Amino acid sequence: MRRVVAAALLTVFAGSTAHADVTEADLANDAENTTSVLTNGMGRHLQRYSPLDTINKNNVKNLVPAWAFSLGGEKQKGQETQPIVDDGVMYITGSYSRLYAIDAKTGKEIWQYDARLPEGILPCCDVVNRGAAVYGDKIYFGTLDAKIVALDKKTGDVVWSKKIANFKDGYSYTAAPMIVDGLVITGNSGGEFGILGEVQARDAETGELVWTRPMIEGHMGTYKGKESTMTGKLNATWPGDLWKTGGGAPWLGGSYDKETDTIVFGAGNPAPWNSWLRGAGNPKGTEGDNLYAASRVAMDPKTGEIKWHFQTTPREGWDFDGVNEVVAYTDRDGNKRWATADRNGFFYVLNREDGKFVNAFPFVKNISWASGIDENGRPKFIEDNRPGDPSKAADGKKGEVIFAVPSFLGGKNWQPMSFSQKTGNFYVPSNEWGMDIWNEPVTYKKGAAYLGSGFTIKPIFEDYIGSLKAVDPDSGEIKWEYKNSAPLWAGVMTTAGGLVFTGTPEGEFIAFDDETGEKLWSFQTGSGIVGQPITWEQDGEQYVTVISGWGGAVPLWGGEVAKKVEYLNQGGTLWTFRVPKELASAN
């Protein structure tokens, strides 16, 4: 561990009487309080919408940098963080499990924490970190060796550090933690290694484990150190013993709806990828559904007991993780809903009270694995577009190769969408691509890749891959679309000023008109943007921040697409913008 302290700033910070502890009420009101950003998603509902309108369609053209902060050094791979802003201090995470405290007014560093990572960490998809969580007098974040760390937010000193799982078995952790009623709630990563997906809740003050909830049926949850209830029913949808190494990592983190007191986590792909081994290629009843992988699972935040689940891709065979964020919102008719844009290419709307299926529709083009979604929310599979069974191949080594759309990196991957309370639309960062995919024999070995598949990602259109879409969740209509040459891998934010902010791998940070999709402003950051923008108010001025730093899964797993973007430069710069007061009223 290495910690750098700017002494003068730290002295002022530590002695400030204004720096109050963050409470549960503060977290609950985060979406409405414009002077801070205390939660991942700008509210635990994950809408990523700000009521601020000082910066708007008329004056966004006057947006200029206020300051920039370099992460420094050579540890510059993908920068996917969402900043947290608390009492004038901005907290960001960086690649290789770093955490920074920065003066939000000036951009000067207050302190820096570097996790001491061991040799042999096994992150599948770059050494990224997606953000921190703040509560009380502490700041929390996860590390690539599958730990959750609590730091004193004034000094950066370690208060406690707990192991989520054993990194040597293939586990890691990259998401922002979530805090509900004094519990720090985390998932885990490692779905490509035959791990067990699990959600854990710890006492925020001590780090002691309160409850655990496995994501794969047959495994027992715990509550206060004792077994609680089994997830699902043993062997109901899994054949043999494959449930023991069944994957289902909830690697992206969760959302929380206070009205129903419900947390929802998405579970990733079942393991191995070869669906024939899991009974999904030739199912008997629901045997091959492999619950609760590729599902959204709703839980009681106090106990971890499952309230309901919805599986977006039963019989999963294309690595369509079900982790994509589930956003709590109210539709135009006043109905309380959940919405999620899945890797499988379909956008789903669920009832917020009980998770019942309401509607689904495609949000990307040329989906090949299913012809649609039936009235129960189940895919209408196109069986000829499942990768072939290698046991039926002449050599027994490689099943029939098929071309599938979308690719396993998804119609939408981890990059969060935004819901605008102003327009009632979602703004979805999607990608139009496909893949050659085939199945292979595989056996489980602890800590080794457990796929049983091969693949090559390919573009499906000559002129673009990335597509930012304005989606009407009521009708399924695509209101407008912005096409981008490279894949989109950054988060989206909307504001009451009628703006949609996101970034591109080519380095552009862009503001769009939320109604028309017109590009109103852009700024070249110098490296690809795969981070998550935020906005907040300080001293009567509205600020907008995003991190720039190319990386993530695309250059590592992108096949022919990766070759298309290999010229892009890595980096690590946090950019903060403002409209000068004298120009804020300009038209």
Interval 488-535: pLDDT, tens: 999 999 999 999 999 999 999 999 999 999 999 999 999 999 999 999
* 59 contacts: CB under 8 Å, gap ≥ 6: 579, 583, 584, 585, 586, 587
Cα–Cα separations (whole angstroms), residue 348 to 45, 66, 258, 331: 16, 39, 21, 13
Rounded CA-CA distance 200/211 in Å is 6
Q: Report residue 462 CA to chain centroid gap.
A: 28
Distance CA 509, CA 492 (A): 11
DSSP for 365-431, please give it.
S---SEEEE-TTS-EEE-GGGSPP-GGGSSSSS-PPPEEESS-TT-SS-SS--EE-TTT--EEEEEE
CA pair distance 191, 266, nearest whole angstrom: 13
User: Does residue 70 carry a pLDDT above 60?
Assistant: yes
Per-residue pLDDT at 586: 58
Are 193 and 451 in contact by the 8 Å Cβ rule? The answer is: no
Q: How many other C-beta atoms lie within 10 A of the C-beta of residue 569?
A: 12
List the one residue out of 383, 513, 490, 350 whose CA is nearest residue 48: 490
Per-residue burial over 537-552, b if 16 or more Cβ lie within 10 Å, else e, is bbeebbbbbbbbbbbb
- The CATH superfamily of 2-583 is Quinoprotein alcohol dehydrogenase-like superfamily (2.140.10.10)
pLDDT of 4 strictly over 70? no
Q: Tokens in use for 221? A: 């949850």
Cα–Cα distance, 384 to 431 (Å, whole number): 23
| Chain mean pLDDT for the chain | 94
> Residue 307 has what DSSP assignment?
E
Encoded tokens for 413: 């991957």
Q: Is it the case that residue 12 has pLDDT exceeding 90?
A: no
- What single-letter amino acid sits at 567? Y
Domain limits, the chain: 2-583
Closest Cα to residue 553, out of 125, 51, 121, 85? 125
pLDDT the model gives residue 558: 85
Q: Average pLDDT for residues 461-471, to the nearest whole number?
A: 97
Residue 2 predicted with pLDDT over 50: no
Whether residue 574 is predicted with pLDDT greater than 90 in this model: the reply is yes
**What is the C-alpha separation between 39 and 84, in angstroms, rounded?**
7
What pLDDT sits at residue 3?
56
Pairing mode of beta strands 493-495, 49-50:
parallel
Q: What letter would DSSP give residue 184?
A: E
| Amino acid letter, residue 497 | G
- Predicted pLDDT of residue 223: 98
pLDDT digits (tens, 9 = 90+) for 557-569: 888 898 888 888 8
Give the pairing of strands 226-230 and 336-341.
unpaired
d(CA 573, CA 584): 25
Share of the chain above pLDDT 70, in %: 96
> Phi and psi for 266 in degrees, rounded to 5?
-95, 140
Separation between Cα atoms, residue 199 and residue 209, nearest integer Å: 11
Which strands form 209-214's sheet, in the order they lie side by side? 178-180, 183-186, 198-203, 209-214, 220-223, 226-230
CA distance 186 to 199: 6
pLDDT at 19: 65
> Quick count: other Cβ atoms within 10 Å of Cβ 519?
12
Segment among 27-31, 121-125, 229-233, 461-465 with least mean pLDDT: 121-125
With a cut of 80, say whether residue 219 has pLDDT above it: yes
Mean pLDDT of 284-300: 94
To the query of whether residue 319 is one of the catalytic residues in this protein, the response is yes
pLDDT digits (tens, 9 = 90+) for 140-196: 999 999 999 999 999 999 999 999 999 999 999 999 999 999 999 999 999 999 999
Residue 418 has which token pair? Answer: 């935004």
**Contacts for 292 with CB less than 8 Å, ≥ 6 apart:** 215, 216, 217, 231, 232, 248, 267, 309, 311
Rg (CA), the chain: 22
How far from 218 is each of 2, 302, 452, CA to CA, in Å? 42, 22, 23
Look-up of token digits 């027994």: 396
DSSP state of 507: S
* Res 16: pLDDT: 41
Burial class of residue 225 in the structure, from the number of CB atoms within 10 Å of its CB (0-12 exposed, 13-18 middle, 19+ buried):
exposed
pLDDT of residue 1: 56
Query: Would the pLDDT of 17 be above 90?
Result: no
Residue 261 predicted with pLDDT over 70 = yes
pLDDT at 8 over 90: no
Judged against a pLDDT cut of 50, whether residue 15 lies above it is answered with no
Q: Report how far residue 292's alpha carbon sits from residue 26's, in angstroms, rounded to the nearest whole number.
A: 33
Three-state secondary-structure class, residue 125 = coil
The C-alpha atoms of residue 531 and residue 554 are separated, in whole angstroms, by 14
CB 95 within 8 A of CB 572: yes
Express each pLDDT in 364-389 by its tens digit: 999 999 999 999 999 999 999 999 99
The rounded distance, in Å, linking the Cα atoms of 548 and 555 is: 16
pLDDT of residue 14: 43
Q: What is this structure's pTM?
A: 0.96
Nearest-CA neighbor of 263 among 149, 341, 352, 342? 352
- When mean pLDDT is compared across 11-20, 119-128, 540-549, the lowest value belongs to 11-20
Residue 66's closest CA among 581, 577, 535? 577
User: Both tokens of residue 508?
Assistant: 């552009």
Q: How many CB atoms lie within 10 A of CB 186?
A: 26
Composition of the chain by helix, strand, coil, percent to 5:
10, 35, 55
Cis preceding-peptide flag for 173 (omega within 30 of 0): no
Q: CA torsion angle for 499, 256, 361, 351 (degrees, to 10)?
A: -120
Tell me, what's the pLDDT at 5? 52
**In contact, 3 and 113? CB cutoff 8 Å:** yes
- For position 396, what pLDDT does the model report? 81
What pLDDT score does 28 carry?
98
Q: What is the pLDDT of residues 325-352, one digit of tens each?
A: 999 999 999 999 999 999 999 999 999 9
CA distances from 89 to 122, 178, 236, 468, 576 (A): 32, 19, 50, 31, 13
What pLDDT is stored for residue 581 in this prediction?
81
Catalytic option among 257, 319, 321, 514: 319
